[in-house]
Amino acid sequence: MSDETMVQFRAPLRRGEDDPYRWRSTLPGMWAWLWQRISALLIIVFFGLHLVLTYRPLIQLLLLMVVTFHAALGLRVILLDLGVVHVRYQRALFGGLMTLGIILLVLIWTSIY
Q: What is the pLDDT of residues 77-106, one digit of tens each?
A: 999 999 999 988 988 999 999 999 999 999
Residue 57 in domain? yes
The predicted pLDDT at position 16 comes to 66
In total, how many domains does the chain have? 1
Residue 89 in domain? yes
Residue 113 in domain? yes
Kindly report the number of other CB atoms within 10 A of residue 90's CB atom.
18
The answer to whether 72 and 101 have CB atoms below 8 angstroms apart is: yes
Residue 27 in domain? no
Residue 3 in domain? no
Residue 61 in domain? yes
Q: At what angle do helices 90-112 and 28-52 cross, to 10 degrees?
A: 20
Range of the domain at 89: 50-113
Q: Give which of 91, 31, 98, 92 is closest to 69, Cα–Cα.
A: 98
Q: Which residue has the higher pLDDT, 84 or 9?
A: 84
